[in-house]
A and B are shown apart, each in its own frame.
Chain A
Amino acid sequence: MAAEVEETLKRIQGHRGVTGTIVVNSEGIPIKTTLDNSTTVQYASLIHSLTAKARSTVRDIDPSNDLKFLRIRSRKNEIMCAPDKEFLLIVIQQDDQS
């Protein structure tokens, strides 16, 4: 199980420009990460609250709907996150053509 997870995460990490992946649980506590601790904690808490807000927004508009994927594109990099009932996966990718 763990190996499978590891492998999948490794494949994601292997993409060009990916600087880090973080797995966060439902409370916002990081479980697995490839970045250093302080950055991980910061990302985890911020993204966690933002994801919750995004999800509530989507469900407010249409209660039968749900948030599936969130992409935040900034000038320097892109943050992708996929929320779940219990977990949250965050991937940060650098823009290599800037």
Chain B
Amino acid sequence: MSDADKKEVSSEGAKEETEKIKEDKKDDNKEAAQTEEKEKDSSEAEKNANSNAEEEPTDVKKPEKKASKVKNKPGKKESKVLKDEPAEAIGEAPEEANPEALPENVFPLFMTSKTQEIYNCKCDEDVTEENPFKFIPKSDILEDMKMRAAVCDFHPFKQQILDYPGEDVLIVYDFEFKHGQNFIVALTEEAKELLLKVSETEEGEAGEEGEEEEEDDTVYMYIPPEPKDWVSLGSEKEIDESTVKETRRKLKVSVKRIRRDFGAPTAFADRNVADVKDGAVDCTSYDDNNFDIKRIELDKAVQAISEQVTEGTQTDWKYPRNANTQTYPREYTEDEQAALISTKECSDFVNEVAFDFHQALQQNEIMNVFYVDWVHLGDGDDAFGSKADNHLKEYQSFTDLQFSKDKMITCIQWHRTIKGVVATSVAEKLSFDQRIDHAAKVIMTPSLILIWSFADPIHPQLILEAPDDIFSFAFNPTDPNHIVGGCLNGQIVMWDIAAHADRLKQQRGSNRNKKRTVLINKMGVPQENASLQCTQLLSCATDHCVMLWDTKASKMHTTAMYDDKKKAQQPSGVPDTFKHLDLIWKPILRVTLSKSEPGGDHAPTKFSIQERQGDRSALSSGTENRENDVTQTMQGGFHKPSSGKERTLQGVKTYVYVGTEDGEIVYADWMPQKDQDTGKIQTPKPAYYHVTHDGPVVSMQRSPFFKDILLSVGGWTLALWKEGVSSGPILESSACHVKLSCAAWSPTRPGVFFVAKVDGSVDVWDLLDKTHEPALSQSVSPTAIMQIYPFQVTQKQQLIAVGDIAGTLHILEIPWSLRQATPNETTSVANYIEREVKRRAFVVERWNFREKEKRELEADTKRKAGGMAAAMAPPTEEEKELRLRQEYEAYLNEEHNFLRELGIVQDEEIPLPAA
């Protein structure tokens, strides 16, 4: 009864039940799933015991379980549907296709409330929808059955429970009465397991789903898609419609004609239009009402305009043709001119206008209209003091207690551009032997060039160090930041004070930035003459050479390039200035001064060349200009011996005057020429030399006004020379009572020069005043003067710097009378020079004459002596006559001389004047 009912019920409400169960299973038992698993084994027995009554539903349930097992993942509702179908599909044979059927040995059970109380499985209290499972111990059930016998709900399952192997029986609360009762009981272990599993899976699904919903980071297992059978969805039809298929067999048509008819002549005939119907078709026009246009009044306007035409034209230029015209003035022939001149009109005209001309010409003669008074306004008034003031005034003196005391001043140079800056070089005043004795001490004391500024007479502005005592130095004429100096030991050193030129305020300026030295062979006292545009300098030394150096950087120099245009770099430390020395500065040219006679070579002490930087007169004498820097340096003149690139200028004087240690003046050509004997290119022997002075030449100065006049001073005398006059000096002074130490020309007056003496006085010589003694003599310093150098410092001020042996530099002002050139002084001096040259020439002539005389006399005496010997032999006629004539001539000469001595006879010759 209950079975059948339960079956039906189950079959009817199977769906609901299964749904319910599924839902129950899904909903609850998240917690209990695991516990149920543990208790599975224990309750299986009970389930088995109770499973008899509900075999069928369990069968039905099984496939559900299985289906649910298979399908784990899909959602709740889906799972229901899907489960239904596979449940059907799978469909176990013995079971009915009842999706909601209970698994095997699982039966619905109705538990009264009393029973529920007993087993503690009250609805909605102990057992809820979420928690439908309850395990009831088997023993309790048995006891209950004994107690209540038929009243017990488990009575129908009594047998099964007794057979139940496990300890606990599973009761599942069926909330939705899916299976007809409010509880279901699993009567076998298998059923229990199944139920538990279903619930697990369902709840597992729910759990999984819930879990999935809760946790997003579950690991997704990739299940590769399995190939399935293709399901047609109707696309073949479309493809079939699109493709072109032959629906029927192809037809063949064949057209034939007789071959004869191809290309055969044909006869055309006319045909009338009317012959055939529709031979011609007329399309006549007709008024179509559809397109009717109304005519209305129209306004029209007409305007007449002129026609415009744009045209262009171009001339043809056949070919270019040169054309020129030349005019010539009309001229009269000589006869015509003469004729015209002699006409009356002409003479009248000339007479008429002559008066006006005379007047005009005289006006011009009387007064120069263009004389600008303003410029010459203050010429007479700018003398400091009275005009009669004649002597040099002491202006300032410089001494440095530390550096220049007890040292002699060897060279003075004014700074070319900076006003009021003068540089002196100081050296120990020891003779050569003394130097050797005190060599150790000498080395320790520094050798310096001091640069003074008028602003500070106590401290020099700059001090330049040198490896040895400097005896001569010079500023570069075009770049006053470069100073070249020559040392006692024969070295030439060069300084660049560009970086310090503006730091003239410094106490002790840095010594130098760049320095190059070179060793000359022998010891010498070189004199620098940086006479060229920044790159070349000449030096002479007592090793019989005059050398020419090039200060331009060559590739040989390993240190940083010394470029005239750029500023040299500054070394970091001041003391290690000698670091920059490199000994690879070689002279470009070497002029050896060798004597033509035996007796050694000349040892030059001073020299002077004609060419000076800045004088371009040589250029104008018929040669071209040139851009080459090197040649332009020496006024476009000096020809570099090795390179033939630059062309020589013809008008350049290549001679140099050298004063030697022995007091000779040597005139040599520095241009190397091919030597006749050896065939080598070398500088030739000096053109001539002259022993002039009693001591070493101390100064050779060229006149700033006359390029070929030199003043040489040496020993006790001074001499004036003119270049080209090789016989002797133009002017030679008598010996002074003290030795002369230095000389300099006045920069403004052509006939004035200054000579300094070792007694500390300065002589002023004026060639236009007196030529036998100085015009003015003034004592300047208590000690011997070593160097003088006059310089035009400002427009109104000319200063002369005098350096003495005590290390003091005196600056004196030259008075106006010695400064201002007298009118036409230049021409006067030039005239004087001319006169002297003429005199010189005369002297030479006379000398030659005298020589000839002398020679003749000697010949006579010789002949006479010889004649005595030959007198033994009888003389021939001619010999007699000859002898007679000679005697007579000798007598005449004697008479002449005798008379001359008496002073009776006036000769045409003028006695040689004493200079």
Tell me the minimal C-beta distance from B215 to chain A in angstroms.
115
B871 interface hit (Cβ, 8 Å): no
Complex contacts, A80 vs chain B, CB 8 Å: 356-357, 360-361
A8 interface hit (Cβ, 8 Å): yes
Known A8-B354, A29-B332; contact A23-B346, beta-carbon cutoff 8 A:
yes
A51 interface hit (Cβ, 8 Å): no
B794 interface hit (Cβ, 8 Å): no
Complex contacts, B358 vs chain A, CB 8 Å: 11-12, 15
A45 interface hit (Cβ, 8 Å): yes
Known A11-B354, A29-B332, A87-B349; contact A23-B341, beta-carbon cutoff 8 A:
yes
Complex CA–CA separation, A28 to B331 (angstroms): 9
User: B345 near A86 (CB under 8 angstroms)?
Assistant: yes
User: A8 near B351 (CB under 8 angstroms)?
Assistant: yes
User: A31 near B350 (CB under 8 angstroms)?
Assistant: no
Contact with B along A69-95 (1 / 0, CB 8 A): 101010100101010101101010101
Interface set, chain B 321-380, CB cutoff 8 A to A: 329-332, 337-338, 340-347, 349-354, 356-358, 360-362, 364-365, 368-371
User: A18 near B361 (CB under 8 angstroms)?
Assistant: yes
User: A2 near B357 (CB under 8 angstroms)?
Assistant: no
Complex contacts, B362 vs chain A, CB 8 Å: 15
User: A32 near B341 (CB under 8 angstroms)?
Assistant: yes
User: B350 near A97 (CB under 8 angstroms)?
Assistant: no
Residue of B nearest to A82 (CB): B353
Complex CA–CA separation, A53 to B39 (angstroms): 150
User: B354 near A2 (CB under 8 angstroms)?
Assistant: no
Complex contacts, A31 vs chain B, CB 8 Å: 332, 337, 340-341, 346
Complex contacts, A29 vs chain B, CB 8 Å: 329-332
Complex CA–CA separation, A98 to B370 (angstroms): 8
Complex contacts, B337 vs chain A, CB 8 Å: 31-32
Complex CA–CA separation, A50 to B347 (angstroms): 24
User: A93 near B364 (CB under 8 angstroms)?
Assistant: yes
Known A8-B354, A89-B349; contact A95-B341, beta-carbon cutoff 8 A:
no
Tell me the minimal C-beta distance from B346 to chain A in angstroms.
6
User: A12 near B346 (CB under 8 angstroms)?
Assistant: no
Residue of A nearest to B328 (CB): A41
Contact partner of B350 among A8, A17, A41, A93, CB < 8 A?
A8
Interface set, chain B 358-417, CB cutoff 8 A to A: 358, 360-362, 364-365, 368-371
Complex CA–CA separation, A28 to B364 (angstroms): 27
Tell me the minimal C-beta distance from B347 to chain A in angstroms.
5
**Which residue among A27, A45, A68, A97 has the maximum number of chain B CB atoms within 10 Å of its CB?**
A97
Interface set, chain A 16-71, CB cutoff 8 A to B: 16-18, 23, 25, 27-32, 41, 44-45, 68-69, 71
Known A11-B354, A95-B370; contact A16-B349, beta-carbon cutoff 8 A:
no
**Which residue among A9, A15, A98 has the maximum number of chain B CB atoms within 10 Å of its CB?**
A15
Known A15-B365, A18-B361, A29-B329; contact A89-B350, beta-carbon cutoff 8 A:
yes
**Which residue among B340, B344, B352, B364 has the maximum number of chain A CB atoms within 10 Å of its CB?**
B364
Contact partner of A87 among B330, B345, B360, CB < 8 A?
B345
User: B341 near A84 (CB under 8 angstroms)?
Assistant: no
User: A89 near B353 (CB under 8 angstroms)?
Assistant: yes
The interface residues of chain A, by DSSP majority, are classed as mixed
Number of interface residues of B (CB under 8 A): 32
Contact partner of A5 among B331, B346, B368, B370, CB < 8 A?
B346
| A interface, size bucket | 35 or more
Known A17-B365, A87-B349, A89-B350; contact A5-B341, beta-carbon cutoff 8 A:
yes
Complex CA–CA separation, A4 to B332 (angstroms): 21
Complex contacts, B357 vs chain A, CB 8 Å: 12, 80, 82, 89, 91
Complex CA–CA separation, A28 to B327 (angstroms): 15
Contact partner of A93 among B345, B349, B361, B370, CB < 8 A?
B361
User: A27 near B330 (CB under 8 angstroms)?
Assistant: yes
**Which residue among A5, A9, A30 has the maximum number of chain B CB atoms within 10 Å of its CB?**
A5
Complex contacts, B351 vs chain A, CB 8 Å: 4, 8
Complex contacts, A86 vs chain B, CB 8 Å: 345-346, 349
Residue of A nearest to B351 (CB): A8
Contact partner of B329 among A32, A41, A69, A93, CB < 8 A?
A41
User: A2 near B361 (CB under 8 angstroms)?
Assistant: no
Complex contacts, A41 vs chain B, CB 8 Å: 329, 331
Tell me the minimal C-beta distance from B334 to chain A in angstroms.
11
Complex CA–CA separation, A8 to B354 (angstroms): 7
Tell me the minimal C-beta distance from B49 to chain A in angstroms.
156
Complex contacts, A25 vs chain B, CB 8 Å: 340
Residue of B nearest to A4 (CB): B347
Known A8-B351, A15-B361, A23-B346; contact A97-B341, beta-carbon cutoff 8 A:
no
Complex CA–CA separation, A18 to B346 (angstroms): 21
**Which residue among B345, B349, B350 has the maximum number of chain A CB atoms within 10 Å of its CB?**
B350
Tell me the minimal C-beta distance from A18 to chain B in angstroms.
7
User: B361 near A82 (CB under 8 angstroms)?
Assistant: no
Complex contacts, B356 vs chain A, CB 8 Å: 68-69, 80, 82
Known A73-B369, A89-B349; contact A17-B364, beta-carbon cutoff 8 A:
yes
Residue of B nearest to A14 (CB): B361
Tell me the minimal C-beta distance from B577 to chain A in angstroms.
56
Complex CA–CA separation, A25 to B346 (angstroms): 9
Known A82-B353, A82-B356; contact A5-B345, beta-carbon cutoff 8 A:
no
Residue of A nearest to B345 (CB): A86
Complex CA–CA separation, A90 to B431 (angstroms): 77
Complex contacts, B343 vs chain A, CB 8 Å: 1
Residue of B nearest to A12 (CB): B357
**Which residue among A11, A41, A68, A89 has the maximum number of chain B CB atoms within 10 Å of its CB?**
A89
Complex contacts, B340 vs chain A, CB 8 Å: 25, 31
Complex CA–CA separation, A80 to B340 (angstroms): 22
User: B354 near A12 (CB under 8 angstroms)?
Assistant: yes
User: A87 near B332 (CB under 8 angstroms)?
Assistant: no
Contact partner of A95 among B331, B346, B352, B368, CB < 8 A?
B368
Interface set, chain B 540-591, CB cutoff 8 A to A: none
Complex CA–CA separation, A9 to B357 (angstroms): 10
User: A87 near B346 (CB under 8 angstroms)?
Assistant: yes
User: B350 near A5 (CB under 8 angstroms)?
Assistant: yes
Complex CA–CA separation, A84 to B345 (angstroms): 10
Complex CA–CA separation, A43 to B342 (angstroms): 22
Tell me the minimal C-beta distance from B339 to chain A in angstroms.
9
Tell me the minimal C-beta distance from B309 to chain A in angstroms.
50
Complex contacts, A2 vs chain B, CB 8 Å: 338, 341-342, 347
Complex CA–CA separation, A15 to B360 (angstroms): 11
**Interface residues of A, Cβ cutoff 8 Å to B:** 1-2, 4-5, 8-9, 11-12, 15-18, 23, 25, 27-32, 41, 44-45, 68-69, 71, 73, 75, 78, 80, 82, 84, 86-87, 89, 91, 93, 95, 97-98
Could you jot down 7 A-B contacts, CB within 8 Å?
A: A15-B361, A23-B346, A23-B350, A86-B349, A87-B349, A87-B350, A98-B370
Known: A44-B329, A75-B370; 4 extra A-B contacts, CB below 8 A, are: A16-B365, A29-B329, A41-B329, A84-B349
**Interface residues of B, Cβ cutoff 8 Å to A:** 329-332, 337-338, 340-347, 349-354, 356-358, 360-362, 364-365, 368-371
Across the A-B interface, the 6 shortest Cβ-Cβ residue pairs: A82-B353, A97-B368, A2-B342, A15-B361, A41-B329, A1-B342
